[in-house]
Structures are given as C-alpha cells and as structure tokens.
Structure 1
Amino acid sequence: MPSNSATVRHVALDAPLLLLAYGLLHLVDGLDGAYGPGLAQNLSYLAFLAAMVLFGVFAAAVRPLVPPGARTVAAIAATVTLAGTACFLWAIAGDLTGAFPDATPVRIAGLLLLALGMLTLLGLLVAARRTPAWSPLLFGAGIAAIIINVGYLPLGALIILAALAPLARPAPSRVVPAARRAPTGMEVKRLERVASK
C-alpha cells in the first residue's frame, strides 16, 4: 500500500485547524454583541478562505488513493467538493467586498456540496482501507454540528479534524522479512547429526 502523500497528510490537519480558527475568531468577533467590521472578522474570513482552498486541494489530492475501479466516482466527488468550495469562496468575497447583499443560499449550497463530495471521497477511502469506517461518520457529525448552529463551528471543526486525522499519518508500509542468517558451524554439525540418524 503506497504512503499518503505529503499534501494529503498536511491538508488533512491544516484544513480543519483553519476551520477551527475561523470558528474561534467568529466567536471572538461576536463578543461585543455585533459581528464586524474589524480585525477579528477579517482574520476569520481569511482563515475560512484558506480552509476552503485546502479542502479543495484535499479533494484533488486523495483521488489517486481510491481503488482504480472507483476513479470516475472519485473524480465526480472531487468536482462536487470543488464546487462547494467555490460557493464558499464566492460568498466570502461577497462578505469582504459587500458586493452581494445576501449570500446565504450560496453558503447553504456550498455546505451541501462540500459535505456530499467529502463524504463520498471518505467512503471511497474506507473501501480502499485508507481510513477507518468511522471517518466519514465523524465528518458527517462535524458538518451536522455546524448546520445545527454556527456557534458549534469550533466543535464541528474538532470533529472534522478527528475524522481526517487518520489521513495525516503515512500509510503503513509492508514489512519485508529480513533475509535469514546463515547457520553457524555448530548449527550445521548439529543438523548433520540429526539428518544422519
């Protein structure tokens, strides 16, 4: 089994950690009873933007890890994930520039597309024995926490981090048994005595 690429290993940690940073900064931004404008809001959007970009990178990077017969499904799932991240990037750009008055439908579409694509990819990775069966279940639970209440975003990010953590480790390589050592002279004589009996 080939090792997970360095890209997959890093992005599996970095994307949910940036999502966690976004959630925490969002909470800090709302401590005064209102959200933005200000430094906390701008930093939260930058963390969210980076997280979405990395989820897109993750979707593209894990495609080679799925079984060969499922590469078409993986390509479709990666495209759906990228469409979800594009929706989020468009919504973030609108929030930062004020160009789009209400990006809520785009955010909802982005969340659904991202969840559908990522869950499919994780399911394929379970089939390839690259992740445990609980990985997509945890990812779905993390998304559900975010859908229930945006205030649960840090919790959802931690759950997603746990879901992707198995991919942050290199895949175990098969151990090739070491060559058997040559028998010593005493062992050869003992074998010869046993054979002669």
Structure 2
Amino acid sequence: MTINDVRAAGRTAYPWLRSMAVTASLLLFGYGLLRLIGGLGGHRDKSAWPWMIGHTLFLFGIVAFGAVIVGLHGLLRATSSPLRAVDDVAAVAGLLGAVGFGWVILGDLFPRFADAVNTPGLVLAGGPALFELGLLTLLFRAAFVRLLPIWGPVLVLVGFASIAVQLDLLPIGAALVLAGLLPLGGSRPR
C-alpha cells in the first residue's frame, strides 16, 4: 500500500480524526481560558464554576485525545512499516496515560472519589507523561511516513512543553497543539 493509498484510506476510514483532534484541542483551550478566568482574583476556588467547568472540559478533551491516539494508530497500522511494534507500544502508552490523566481529573472534580481511591503518586506523575509520550510518538511516526508535515508534531511538542513550563500558558499551548494537529486526515502534506 502506497502512502497516497494510506492517506486516501485515512480520509475515508477515519473521517472523524481531524474533527476529533480539533475538538480535543479546543476543549484544552477552553480549559485554559477558564483556568485563567478562575484565577483572576488571585486564587483558584475549586468549587467555583470556572474551575469545575474547566476541569470538565479538560476531562472531555483527554477522552477526545484518546480517540485521536486510536485513529493515529489505525492509520499507521495501514502502512507497511517495520515499526509496527513502536506504534503499538506508543498507542498503549498514550491510552494508559489518558486513563491516568482522566483518573487525576476525576479526583480533582470529585474529592470523595480521590479520597476513596487514594490515587498513587505514580498515576499523578506517570499519566500525563505516558499520554504525551505516546501521542507524540504516534505523531512523529505519522510525519515520518508523510501522513503529516513534520512541523505538526513539532508544534504539538512545543505546545505541551509550554504547558509544562507554566500552566497559565494553557491557551497558548492548546493553540499550538491545535495548529499542529490541524493537518491530520486532511490533504497531502507539503
């Protein structure tokens, strides 16, 4: 199967991939904006509406990113690459990380849940790292097989890095992630 065949198959077999990537990025952007609004008074009240709605958007965004991971993995499986094992490990890592991320967000939204399950520190630290590592590996692999321009995963990496440096940069980081994911499932990369 040629790269053009894979691209065409990706547009027909995974027509939702681009819209899911855009949705995930916009949900992350909304979370970032609400996080900034919630912090305007100098402190963040976990019971205030911006915090609650923002974290809910964040949770839905992580679920949408999980769907993006599944779609990317499916597209990459259609290529005749000798690196299928890398794709499989990256997808599993990304999805495990998304589950860990979701677990942490649920604990933030529902303190009784956090108290009842006693979230281990490994989930707190490992979830986001596995999620980002898995997603970025799949994105760089997609760029390697020319399903995505190389600047796409680079922008996603810079977006995630900016968020890691300062959470107040969430809207900017989300905009970079959106720009990096926008070519997914679209026309042929240049």
TM-score (norm 1): 0.80
- Contact 2:156–2:180 under 8 Å retained in 1: yes
What is the identity percentage for the equivalent residue pairs of Structure 1 and Structure 2?
A: 34
Tell me, which stretches of 5 or more residues in structure 1 are unaligned?
173-197
Measured after TM superposition, the shift of residue 116 of structure 1 is 0.7
SS at match of 1:141: helix
Return the alpha-carbon distance in structure 2 between the equivalents of residues 103 and 30 of structure 1.
Answer: 25
Partner of 2:137: 120
- Say whether residues 1:29 and 2:38 are aligned partners: yes
- Partner letter of residue 90 of structure 1? W
TM-score (norm 2): 0.83
- Partner letter of residue 39 of structure 1? W
The change in CA–CA distance for 1:94 and 1:122 in structure 2 (over 3 A counts) is same
Structure of larger gyration radius: 1
- Contact 1:63–1:71 under 8 Å retained in 2: no
Measured after TM superposition, the shift of residue 44 of structure 1 is 0.3
Partner of 2:177: 160
Tell me, which stretches of 5 or more residues in structure 2 are unaligned?
none
- Say whether residues 1:13 and 2:22 are aligned partners: yes
Q: 1:68 aligns with which of 55, 80, 83?
A: 80
Matches within 5 A, 1:1-197: 1=4, 2=8, 3-4=10-11, 5-36=14-45, 37-66=47-76, 67-69=79-81, 70-99=83-112, 100=114, 105=121, 106-167=123-184, 169=186, 171-172=187-188
- Partner letter of residue 22 of structure 2? L
> How many pairs does the alignment contain?
171
SS at match of 2:182: helix
